[in-house]
Chain A
Amino acid sequence: MSLGILSLIVAVLAATGFFLGRRFALAKVAGDARRLHSLPGYYGQTVFLFSAVPAFLVLGLWLLIQPLVVENHVAGMITPADIPEGSSVSLVMSDVRRIAEGIERVVSEGRMTEAELAAHDDIRGELASAGVALGNDVRPAVVEAARSYRDMSATGSLAMSVLVLALALAGMAFALRRISPEFRARNVTETFVRYLLIAASTVAILTTIGIVLSLVFETVHFFRLYPASKFFFNTVWNPQFRGGSDLGIWPLLWGTMYVSVIALLVSVPVGIFAAIYLAEYASKKVRAVAKPLIEILAGIPTIVYGLFALITVGPILRDFFAQPLGLGSSSSSVMTAGLVMGIMLIPFVSSLSDDIINAVPQSLRDGSYGLGATQSETVKQVILPAALPGIVGAILLAASRAIGETMIVVLGAGAAAKMSLNPFDAMTTVTVKIVSQLTGDTEFASPETLVAFALGLTLFVFTLGLNILALYIVRKYREQYE
C-alpha cells in the first residue's frame, strides 16, 4: 500500500471519527446539547485526535527506523569475501539497493517472476534492460542480499500498514468508548493540543541537537583517520585523491578572515553612515525611498551576488586594478569576494543601526542642541556613544554572516588555498572547501571528505561564539530610557 493512500485512509478514518464522536455524544443525551459537559464538537475532536495523532506518529517513526533495521540486517549477510577489491561495504550496499530496485521493476513489468529471475544466470543483463545498470559482476551473495532486502522491505511496509490502521481504529474505539455526558471533552482536547504545541516547539532544540551531533560525530570520525594536531597546526592544505593529504586549516581560516575583514571594511562605514543619514538628516521623502532600496539588498539571494562577483566585479578589478598594478591576473580574488560581500552586508549593519539610533530619545538630542552643538557634533558625541552597544552588536552579527557566507566566495574568491597578503590573489575559505570536499567524487569515509565536517564544526563554533557575544553585548550595555 503506498504511503499516500495509507495517510489518506487514516485521515478519512479520523474525519469519520469526528462525526461519529459528535453524533455519539448527542445520542447519549437524546440531542439535548445542554446536558453535555462540553460543546458537541469537542467530543468529535477527541476522537479525531486519538485516531489520527498516534497513527501518524507511528507511521513517521516506522519510516525512519525500518530502513535502518533492514540495512543492518542485510549488511550482516555480506561477508568480507563478497566485497571486491577496491570496493567497500557502502558501495556493495548501494549495489544491493539498486539490484532490489531492479528486481522490483522487472517483476512489476511482468517479464518474470522473482523465482525465475533468481534462477536466471544473466541477472545483470536482465536488470540492465530494466534500466538498472550495474558496474561490475554481481556476486551471488549480493543478489541473495538484495532479495532479502526486498523481502524485508515488503514485509516491513505491510506490517507498517497493518499496525498504523489498527492503531487508528484502536484510538478511535478508545475515544468513542470514553464518551458520556460527563466526559470532559474540552479539557481533554485542550491538554492534547497543548502537548502537540510543546512537541512543535521542541523541533528547534532537536535541530540544534541534530546539527551538533552530526558535526561532532563525523569530526571524531575524521580525527581518528587524521591527527587533530596536523589539522590545527599544519599550514598546508593539499588534499589528494590517493591519500597522504595535507589538511591544515590555517590557509582556509586566513582566507575566511581576509575576505571578512574586507567585507566589514566596506559595509561598516557605509552602513553606519547610511543609518546616521537616514535617521538624522534625511527628509521623510528621501527616507521613504532610500531605506527600502537599501533593504532590497538584504533580500537578494547570495547566488545573485556570487554571479555579480563572477561576471562584473571580478573582471573590472582585474582589468583596472590588479593588472595595471602588477598584482595578479586572476579575476577571482579576495578583493572581489570581499567587496561584493561588503555590499551584501550593508543592509545588515544599516537597518540594525538605524533602529538603534532611532531608539535614542529625542531629549538627548535637544539637550545637545540647546548647548550649541551642531547636528554632526550631536551625532558624534551624544547619539553614537548612546547607540554604541547596539551598533557593535550589529557589526558582530554582520561578521558572523561574513564568515558563514558561501556562494559569494565560491564564485568570487577562487579555490587556491594559500596564505598571501596580496588582496588580488585568489584564496579560499572554510565554506568553499566544505562545498568542494562534499560535492566531489571521493569516498565518504575518507579523511578528504570527512574534513568537511571538522570545517563545519569550526564554522559553527565561530559563528555561534560571535552571535552569543553580540547578544551579550547588546543585553549588557543596553541603555534603558524611560
Chain B
Amino acid sequence: MTAESTNTGLSLYKTDARTKRRNAAEKRFRIYGMLAVGFGVLALIVLLTSVLGTGAGSFRQTFLTMPVALDAAALDKKGNRDPAEMAKVTTIGYQKILEKALIAELTEQKLIPEGMSTKDIGGLISKEAPAQLRNKVLANPDLVGQTISFRALANGRIDGYFKGRVTMESAALDSNVSPAQLELVDKMRGANLLGLGFNWGFVFDPDASELRPEAAGLGVAILGSLYMMIIVLVLSLPLGVAASIYLEEFAPTNRWTDLIEVNIANLAAVPSIVFGILGLAVFINFANMPQSSPLVGGLVLTLMTLPTIIIATRAALKAVPPSIKDAALGVGASKTQTVFHHVLPLAMPGILTGTIIGLAQALGETAPLLLIGMVAFVRDYPGAPPEGFLDPASALPVQVYNFTQRADPAFIERASGAIIVLLVFLLTMNILAIILRRRFERRW
C-alpha cells in the first residue's frame, strides 16, 4: 500500500462528519432517556408535594381557649344533675353560654371593638363547638356550675384566615365573615386567646356538615376502611391461597384449568368500576345486603384483590425448589402432606408480601365503593363487629371524594389531609411488605 491510497482524509484521530452526526444522535438519545426518567421522578415529587403541602394544614386547627362558666340555671334547671333531663337543653343553650363566655373574656381584656354585634362576636366560634361542649357536660354532669377552661373550635373562615385561605379582601366580599371580625381576631391572637393547635379531631371525629369544614374528621372513614380490610384479609387470603395451591400443585393440565387461568388473568385487568357494578347488582339488589355497609364493600374488594393474591401466591409456590418436594415425597409423604408441611411454609413470606400489597391496593380503591352507596353522608360510628359490618360506614378514599364535592374551599385542605392519612397507611403496609421480604426471603 502506498502512502497516497491510505491518505483519504480518514483518520482515527480526527472524527469525520458522519461519526460526529452519529455521536450527536447517541448523545441526544441518551438525553431523551434522562429526560424521561427525570419527568417521571419530577411528576412524583410534584404530586406528593402538592398534596402534602395542601393537606398538612388540616392537622392544625384554630382554637379559641377561654374560661367558660357553666351556668347551672341555664343547663340544669332542676339542679339534680340528671343527664336525661339535662339532655333537654339543646346546643342553642350551649351556644349562648359560649358566646357569653367569649364576650366576658373580651370585655375583661378590653378588646371588643366599637359597635360590633354579639352575633358577630359569637360567629367566631364554630357551630360545632356548642355540640362538643354539650357532649362534654353530658358525659360529666358535675361540671355544671363550675368554670372550666374550654378549647372551642373556631369558625372555618377564621381558621382559613390563619392558614392564608381567607384575606381581608376576600372577607369584604364574603357574607360569612367581615374584615372587622378578622381585625378582632388579630387582636385576640396577640392576647393569646386564639391560636393554632394540633387537630386530633381530624383523625378521630366523624364527618361534619357542608357548612362546618372546621369540624370534619375521618373517624368513621378510618373505621370503615379498617372493617373492610378485615373482611378482605379474612376472605381473600384463605381463598386465594387455596386456589393457588390447587392450580399450582394439583390441577391437571386440561381445558378446565386453562379456563380458570385465563379467567384469573382477565379479572386482574377488569376495570375496578365493573366490580362496583357487580357488587351493586349481586350483593345489594339480588342478595339484599345493606347499602354502604363495610360487608358489601369488603366482599367487592375481596373479589378485586383475589387475582393479585393468587398471582403472587403462585409465584411464591413456584419459587420453592422441586428438590424439597422430591425429598418429602421420597421419604413417603403424600402429595398433600408435601404441599402443606413443606412447600406452603416455605412460600409463606412471599404469600404474605403479596397479600399485603393486594390489601394496600384494596385500601386505595374508590370507584367500586361509590357504586355500592358509600358516598352517603355517615355521621355515626359503625358498631362493633360482627354486627357493625352491616352498619353504614364510609371509607378513606371515598371520604376524599366526598370532601372534593363540597363547595367550601376549606374542604380541599381536608381532602388532601385525608390523603395524607391514606398514604401513611399505604406506606406502613408497603414497608411491612418490604421488611417481610427482606427478612424471610430465601434464595435457593
Binding site for B on A (CB under 8 A): 2-4, 64, 67-68, 71, 186, 189-190, 193-194, 196-198, 200-205, 207-208, 210-211, 214-215, 217-218, 269-274, 276-278, 280-282, 286, 290, 293-294, 296-297, 299-308, 310-312, 343, 346-347, 350, 374-377, 379-380, 397, 400-401, 403-407, 410-411, 431, 434-435, 438-439, 444, 452-453, 456, 459-460, 463-464, 467-468, 471
Contacts and interface: CB of A to CB of B under 8 A. Distances in A.
Interface in B46-61: 46-47, 50-51, 54
A273 B264 contact: no
Contacts of B278: 207, 210-211, 214
B367 A456 contact: no
A211 B243 contact: no
Contact of B419 (A294, A304, A435): A304
Contact of B370 (A301, A312, A439): A439
Interface string B33-71: 111110111011011001100100000000000000000
A201 B33 CA distance: 43
A71 B30 contact: no
B366 A215 contact: no
B262 to A, nearest CB: 8
A252 B375 CA distance: 23
Contacts of B334: 186, 190
A157 B336 CA distance: 38
B243 A274 contact: no
B265 interface: yes
B26 A375 contact: yes
Contact residues of B: prevailing secondary structure:
helix
B264 A204 contact: yes
Nearest to A468: B266
A304 to B, nearest CB: 5
Contact of B269 (A214, A282, A300, A400): A400
26 contacts: A68-B286, A189-B336, A190-B335, A203-B243, A204-B260, A205-B263, A207-B263, A208-B263, A214-B281, A214-B286, A215-B281, A274-B33, A277-B33, A281-B33, A293-B40, A301-B364, A301-B366, A303-B419, A307-B415, A311-B50, A374-B26, A397-B269, A405-B271, A407-B367, A438-B370, A463-B271
Interface stretch (B72-80, B112-120, B303-311, B345-353): B303-311
B288 A343 contact: no
A374 B401 contact: no
Contacts of B444: none
Given A274-B36, A277-B33, A204 B370 contact: no
A264 to B, nearest CB: 15
Given A207-B303, A301-B397, A407-B401, 14 more contacts: A186-B334, A203-B239, A214-B277, A277-B30, A290-B37, A293-B41, A297-B43, A300-B423, A303-B419, A306-B401, A404-B270, A431-B367, A435-B371, A459-B274
A198 B239 CA distance: 10
B30 A204 contact: no
Nearest to A276: B33
Which residue, B243, B269, B285, B306, has most C-beta atoms of chain A within 10 A?
A: B269
A259 B290 CA distance: 35
A233 to B, nearest CB: 24
Given A299-B430, A374-B25, A404-B272, A312 B260 contact: no
Contacts of A272: 36
Given A301-B366, A311-B50, A377 B288 contact: no
Nearest to A400: B269
A99 to B, nearest CB: 16
B412 interface: yes
B29 interface: yes
Given A194-B250, A197-B246, A215 B277 contact: yes
A269 B189 CA distance: 53
A406 B277 CA distance: 13
A376 B426 contact: no
B288 A71 contact: yes
B36 to A, nearest CB: 3
Given A201-B242, A376-B29, A431 B271 contact: yes
Contacts of B441: none
Contacts of B36: 269-274, 277
B13 interface: no
A197 B243 contact: yes
Contacts of B423: 300, 304
Nearest to A346: B40
B443 to A, nearest CB: 18
A179 to B, nearest CB: 20
Interface of B: 22-23, 25-26, 28-30, 32-37, 39-41, 43-44, 46-47, 50-51, 54, 238-240, 242-243, 245-247, 250-251, 259-260, 263-267, 269-278, 280-282, 285-288, 303, 306-307, 310, 334-336, 360, 363-367, 370-371, 373, 375, 386-387, 397, 400-401, 404, 412, 415-416, 419, 422-423, 426, 430
B426 A434 contact: no
B273 A278 contact: no
Given A203-B239, A438-B371, A467-B266, A299 B360 contact: yes
A436 to B, nearest CB: 10
Which residue, A3, A215, A270, A271, has most C-beta atoms of chain B within 10 A?
A: A270
A383 B45 CA distance: 31
B306 A203 contact: yes
Which residue, B242, B287, B422, has most C-beta atoms of chain A within 10 A?
A: B242
A456 B310 CA distance: 25
Nearest to A209: B263
B270 A464 contact: yes
A102 to B, nearest CB: 16
Which residue, A190, A269, A376, A471, has most C-beta atoms of chain B within 10 A?
A: A376
A2 B360 CA distance: 32
Given A290-B37, A435-B273, A210 B282 contact: yes
Contacts of B25: 374, 376-377
Contacts of A305: 47
B408 to A, nearest CB: 14
Contacts of A197: 242-243, 245-246, 250
A92 to B, nearest CB: 15
Contacts of B285: 444
A452 B243 contact: no
Contacts of B306: 203-204, 207
B170 to A, nearest CB: 17
A312 B25 CA distance: 36
A303 B401 contact: yes
A273 B250 contact: no
Contacts of B412: 310-311
Which residue, B39, B47, B51, B335, has most C-beta atoms of chain A within 10 A?
A: B47
Nearest to A304: B419
A407 to B, nearest CB: 5
Contacts of B40: 270, 274, 290, 293-294, 297, 343, 346-347, 350
Contact of A204 (B44, B54, B275, B310): B310
A460 B366 contact: no
B260 A205 contact: yes
Contacts of B387: 2, 4
Contacts of B415: 307
A297 B41 CA distance: 9
Contacts of A274: 33, 36-37, 39-40
Contacts of A2: 387
Which residue, B23, B275, B370, B423, has most C-beta atoms of chain A within 10 A?
A: B370
Contact of A453 (B246, B281, B287, B404): B281
Nearest to A290: B37
Given A301-B364, A301-B422, A303-B400, A196 B242 contact: yes
Contacts of A282: 37
A281 B26 CA distance: 11
Contacts of A460: 270-271, 274
Contact of A308 (B39, B47, B310): B47
Contacts of A280: 33
